[in-house]
Structures are given as C-alpha cells and as structure tokens.
Structure 1
Amino acid sequence: MMDFKGKTVIVTGAGQGIGLEICRCLVESGANVVLNDIDAQLAANAVRSLESKAGKCIAFSGDSSDLEVIQNMVDKSVSEFGQLDIVIANAGITLFGDFLTYSEDSFFKLVRTNLGGSFFLAQAAAKQMKDQGSGGTILLTSSVTAHQAHKNLAAYAMSKAALEMMAKNLVLELSPLNININTIAPGATLTERTLQDLDYAKVWQKLTPMGKPASVSDIAAAALFLVSDSAKHITGQSLIVDGGWTSVSPSPF
C-alpha cells in the first residue's frame, strides 16, 4: 500500500469502474479525494461507498469537459483540503462507428470530452500547482487503442493517442514547475459497462496472452504507482496495462 496521507487528489469519471477503484485505493491510502462524475447520483453513491476508509472523499458532479466545472472543481479541492497535489483525468467516452459514416456530432462530442476535458483540467491544475510552489502530478487516461488499430474506433483511438503526445509535450513546460505528467493505457478491463456484453470476458480471456482481461484493481494499482512519490522522476511516459494484448494484437472482430 502506497502512502498518500495528506495528499489531495481530483479524479474525474469516477462514479464507477476504473475511476472508482482508483478513488478507493487512494482513500484507503489516506488521500483526500474529490470524486467527479457527470452523474450526480452515481458520484454521491460512490462517495458513500468509501465513507469507512482512512482518507476523505467528497463528490463533485458535473461535466468534466466544461471549463467552469473544471475551475470550480480545482477551487473546491483547495477550499476543502487546502491544496491540490494530484490530478487524474480519467473521464472519457467511447463512441464506436464506421469511419465512412461517422457523424460530426459524435466526433466533436468525443473530442470535447476526451481531449478538451483532459487538456483544460491539466491546465487548471498546473496553474494551481504553480501557485502553490510545491509541484504536483498529473495522470491522463489513454488506451491500448492509442497503440494498436481497433475496428470502428478511429476517432476514439485518435483522441487517446493525442493524450499521450500531450503528456510528452508538456514535459517541456511542466518539468520546471516540478510537475510530472504521464498516461496510463488500459486494455480490456472488466467494468460495469463492459460486462453488459455477456461475451466480453470470454472473448478477451482468449485474446489476452495472460489469459484474462484486466480487473479494475489491476489498472488502479498501476495508476497509483504513476501518481506516487516513487514515480516522481517518470514523466512524459505511457504505461500499457493489457496483459500483453498489444504485443500480439489479435482482433476481437
């Protein structure tokens, strides 16, 4: 268990799945967590599930791609806990679609959430960390699709690859502020959403060299390492957590 006692962390898209598990691990490790989800009820339920843990967790509902919501979330973390140390931009959407018929509405909705939300949250957090003068850590959520083609995910894959380039580029501007920034790229993972497909686990069990898709705890463990003090000299990198899938890349279709 890593020690995050006294650290203040924002995690977006955390009402369930990977985001919620990251929050659970952080709170168990003593962190103060601002848990964001666009669904207010989901966020409230998530916070209630963490009430018995070592750290503190508060809900902050709202669209994580909205600039006003982003700034209010950063301000709330400081007013509630006195500082902001870590930001995990986990919120994102997946909109499948054939490239030749992919709609303008779907494209810009996906880009606004996956890219805009992450970019401007990182910007607002970095400004706050600069003002504090004590540095900080930013983690962006990418995907294995940033590294390997996947049918009907051209726009999604593009957005995730862009996040990895964003992290590399921001090394130049954030390193002098003692802020490190990385991405984590999950592969097939068992979550409430993916398990709605009754064949998901069986399909990815066959396709994954390690013999099973990831659990949310697999992804959370890697995320916590990247935002821990043990990883402060790691920046501009992407950590793939996929049981070896991108090494062989068999298609699920």
Structure 2
Amino acid sequence: MDIRVRGDGPAAPFLSARDMLDTEYGLERPVVVDIRDDPDERTMVGHYDDRHELVVSRRAATSAMARELALHEFAHMARYEQAHPSHLQSTEEALFLALAGRSVEQRKLSHCYQIANHMKDIYADDITLDIGPTDKLVSFLESSLARALADSPPSPPEDGRRLRPGADPEITVVNAAFALALLERHDAIDADHRLYDLASAAAADAPSVSLSAFKRRFRSLEDDPDESAYRKALVDATREYVLSDTGQAAD
C-alpha cells in the first residue's frame, strides 16, 4: 500500500495504520493524506480512478486516536475497492425507496443519513476490529455517548422545535445501539460494561426509538450481503426510525 502524507502534521500515525492494514488487507490504489489546519469536517475521504484521498484536520492527526482514525478510514477504502454493497449503495436512492410518499422533517432526514453512515462504519470496522486493538475504540465510544447524554436537551415540544441546541436524544439512542452492536459483533465488550448503562439512559430519554431493535439491526448485518439484501437492510432501518414517532415498525 503506497501512501503519501502532505501538510503540517505527523506521518507516523498514518504509516503505522498502513502497516496494520497490510497485515491482512491491502489497497491497490495509492493513498494521499492531506493534513489541514481546519477542513470542513474532521475527515473527508475521496475515491478516484488512480488514488484514494484522505483529508484530515491537524487536530485529529495529532490526537491520541490518530492511528485508529487512519486505520478506520483505510478500511473504508478497502471496502470500496472490494465493491462491497455498503460502500457502493446510493444513500439517496435507499432513502427515496424508504420514504416515498412520506413527509419527513429535516431533523429526522439528517438522522437517516447518519444511520446509513453507521451501517457503512459497521463494515469498515469489521476490518479494523479484526486487525487492530479495541481498547481505545471502546473508550472513545463510551466517552462520546457520555458527552451526548450530558449535552442532550429536554424532549422537543409537540411542534418539534428545540429551544436550545444539543445532542438529539432520538439519534443518541441509535448511536448507542451502533456502539453496542459493533462491539458485540467482535466480542469486544463485557456484559457489565458502563456502555450498557449509558445506552439504557439514552433509551429512557427517547422511548419512541427502540435501542434493542436498532442494536439487533446493526449487529445482524450480513458479512457479505448482495446489493439487494443490503439495500433492503438500509431501507428497513430508515423506515424503523422514521416510523418510530407513530409507534409503527418496518416490516
């Protein structure tokens, strides 16, 4: 795997992540890592005919999670080269199929994109957790969920408007389900871990969203689905979330 690191930041985390990926997987296309002071997002990945590109903030590149973050993004590149359905399926197409004929508020629609990203992350992290240590990821997911709970505003009024910003309790439940499902898929968490208590607290804050249902959906994703099976899984998860307000569930 060829890699070139540009910008004002350390190359070591990216080179170390490359060496880890190369133990079991590999990339045919070279990777260009562009470290920037303030990109629009913490990381952005682009796939081209002759290369992959990773744009990363200098803050992320110098963090304690830099190697793990790089390995995660390289795993996405590997899934793309494998033509895995999770990385080729158009999110817009799946959401159109799931939500056709329905009126969905922008907040919920944004959350549907996050659910799609979680499903892609499951498949990328099936690679990272197969070849890398899990301790840092477990701690990161735990601290992220704890911060979201601390930042959650009260439930929105009936008109759906929030009076102050903060983590949305409904998507926080989905995020908790994703964290548990990912770690359970790889036996990376004990049954008495604090994440379970945090997830239960998140579920209590948004009872309309089923923590157990989303954990089951994420955990039971097939290792190697065909395009149709993956599309159906994404459509069903989207419907599950959008219909949660009405007390219905996807088929």
Q: TM-score range by the shorter chain?
A: 0.3 to 0.5
| Structure of larger gyration radius | 2
TM-score (norm 2): 0.35
More strand by share: 1
